[in-house]
Structure 1
Amino acid sequence: MLSWQQALQRLQEGNLRFAAGDAGFDGAGSHERRRELVTGQNPFAIVLGCSDSRVPAELVFDQGIGDLFVIRIAGNIVAPSQIGSVEFAAESFSTPLVVVLGHTQCGAVKATLSEIVRPTEQRSPNLRAIVERIRPALESLVHTELSRDPDALMHQAIRSNVRASVNQLRHGSEILERLCAQGGLRIIGAEYSLESGVVDFLDDVS
């Protein structure tokens, strides 16, 4: 059983390989690996990431089938179903690490910023539900000096949204709170750069 520190190191090392164009996962071995996983799974990390097609967690962290328990939703938001999925993996597999993975140029964050500045009634109720979950983390940023610098505003908004999701997981579930308090689980935030391929972990991971 890995500690959360060991799990994090494994992700960091995998991302370094990916960003350098030296990914080591060999898909040719997946047939044997699939057979091994028929009777169960033991993912070493849980990743709550965005649905964006450019941010596939297994590739970004250079991991194979069965290594990561991945939950993807636009804007890496946290709703009851996402919390339940994290609870399931953390309890069922004793997975020690949860990473909320945002990314640069996030469309859901951009749409939320636009909605705050220029409200519209044209979005579907389902799309609006995503925007409304992101909105509280971004609203105060729009009324600061960042509003004069769109790039800086977007940068801070993406990270604020990640931190809000981390906070919701840390404090929105009795199960996850208990596991964190007992030292068996760590929940951290991260941002993936579409430009460089590098994942920047946002929390104190010492």
Structure 2
Amino acid sequence: MLRGNARFVAGEPRHPRQDIDRRNEVAEAQTPRAALFGCSDSRLAAEIIFDKGLGDLFVVRNAGQVISDSVVGSLEYAVAVLKVSLIVVLGHDECGAVRAAISSQGPDATPLPPHIQRLIEPIIPAVRRVVGAGAVDPAAVDAERVGREHLRDTVAELLEKSELIGEAIAAGQLAIVGANYRLAQGTVLADVIVGPATGSAD
């Protein structure tokens, strides 16, 4: 995946496994090498930024890459049934969900619609750790730092909520990499690694 991202950053993607033959090859079954749980942001298209093709990645996304039962179940399916050896949890800069969580803590914050409020609530602990005690000035908060804290929380929560995933890591069958994507540069930078992470084929 790192090699694919390097090609994307350099503007030299190969667009592998995206032809008719590959489409036919994976029509009956899928055998992805990795699962990716990332933000729904339209600028974070996993197969593009990692230069992958059909059947290469099992992708789960929601706004702010927030853990939920459906996310955990999907990732457990990837591990237990599809036998992926890597889960990438991918955050990014300029995240709207992170910014909404920060803004929600301001003294004059406008109430959010209920579903959006519930979505961003898991990000608020990261905001409070970055800001500390006291009032929050949303304009002064380092959103990138909040995003990094939230990414680490997401990895920790996934491990806490999934015994299956924890057991796969303990058995040396799975690794989790928490990484941040830089929108302008196109680069993916690992922030936290749990388990025996290894490279995947092009």
Following superposition of structure 1 onto structure 2, how do residues 55-70 of structure 1 map, counting pairs within 5 Å? 55-70=44-59
Equivalent position of 1:3 in the other structure: none
Structure 2 gap ranges (5+): none
Number of corresponding residues: 193
CA contact (8 A) 1:170 1:187 kept: no
Q: Say if 1:119 and 1:166 are closer, same or farther in 2 by CA, change over 3 A.
A: farther
In 2: Cα distance, 1:178 partner to 1:142 partner: 35
Q: Which amino acid aligns with 2:69?
A: P
* SS class of match (1:34): helix
In 2: Cα distance, 1:119 partner to 1:168 partner: 30
Shift of 1:203: 2.1
Equivalent position of 2:43 in the other structure: 54
Q: 1:99-130 deviations in whole A, cap 9, x for unaligned?
A: 11001100000110111223645311100011
Equivalent position of 1:6 in the other structure: none
The structure with the greater share of residues assigned to helix is 1
Structure 1 gap ranges (5+): 1-10
Q: Say if 1:115 and 1:149 are closer, same or farther in 2 by CA, change over 3 A.
A: closer
Q: CA RMSD in A?
A: 2.1
In 2: Cα distance, 1:26 partner to 1:69 partner: 16
Q: Which amino acid aligns with 1:25?
A: H
Of the three residues 11, 19, 22, the one matched with 2:9 is: 19
> What TM-score do you get using the length of structure 1 for normalisation?
0.87
Q: Say if 1:23 and 1:118 are closer, same or farther in 2 by CA, change over 3 A.
A: farther
In 1: Cα distance, 2:124 partner to 2:137 partner: 19
Q: Does 1:94 align with 2:83?
A: yes
Higher mean C-alpha displacement, 67-76 vs 134-143: 134-143
Of the three residues 11, 19, 28, the one matched with 1:39 is: 28
In 1: Cα distance, 2:140 partner to 2:7 partner: 28
> What TM-score do you get using the length of structure 2 for normalisation?
0.89
In 2: Cα distance, 1:116 partner to 1:148 partner: 8
* SS class of match (1:126): helix
Shift of 1:69: 0.3
Q: Which amino acid aligns with 1:133?
A: P
Equivalent position of 2:127 in the other structure: 138
Shift of 1:54: 0.5
Q: Say if 1:118 and 1:69 are closer, same or farther in 2 by CA, change over 3 A.
A: farther
Equivalent position of 2:145 in the other structure: 156
Q: Does 1:184 align with 2:168?
A: no
